[in-house]
């Protein structure tokens, strides 16, 4: 786990500075539907209005205020020699 400012507790302390008058509460947690990344919603009442931040768990175990970079679809290819390829076995049988 990354030892910098990456634990959820450290981030809540940094962003909310909770105290007995304005505690911070977990109001939602789960996984995002698209990539199964974990998230936590923290809320605190700051001067009579709600202050909410979503935190996201990254692959290295750290928590951040932004989601990890999503894996994008990719296409790969491989060049093959069509004259030696066994891709079309039917054509070879017809020619024989």
Q: What is the pTM of this model?
A: 0.63
pLDDT tens digit sequence for 9-33: 999 999 998 888 889 999 999 998 8
Q: Whole-angstrom Cα distance, residue 95 to residue 22? A: 82
- Residue 39 has which token pair? 């998230």
Q: Whole-angstrom Cα distance, residue 36 to residue 53? A: 19
- Residue 70 has which token pair? 């999503």
pLDDT tens digit sequence for 64-88: 988 887 655 556 666 666 666 555 5
């Amino acid at each position: 786990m990354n030892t910098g400012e990456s634990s959820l507790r450290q981030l809540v302390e940094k962003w909310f500075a909770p105290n007995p008058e304005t505690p911070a509460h977990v109001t939602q947690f789960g996984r995002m539907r698209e990539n199964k990344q974990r998230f936590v919603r923290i809320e605190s009442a700051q001067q009579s209005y709600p202050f909410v931040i979503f935190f996201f768990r990254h692959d290295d175990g750290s928590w951040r205020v932004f989601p990890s970079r999503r894996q994008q679809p990719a296409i790969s290819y491989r060049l093959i020699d069509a004259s030696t390829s066994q891709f079309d076995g039917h054509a070879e049988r017809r020619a024989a």
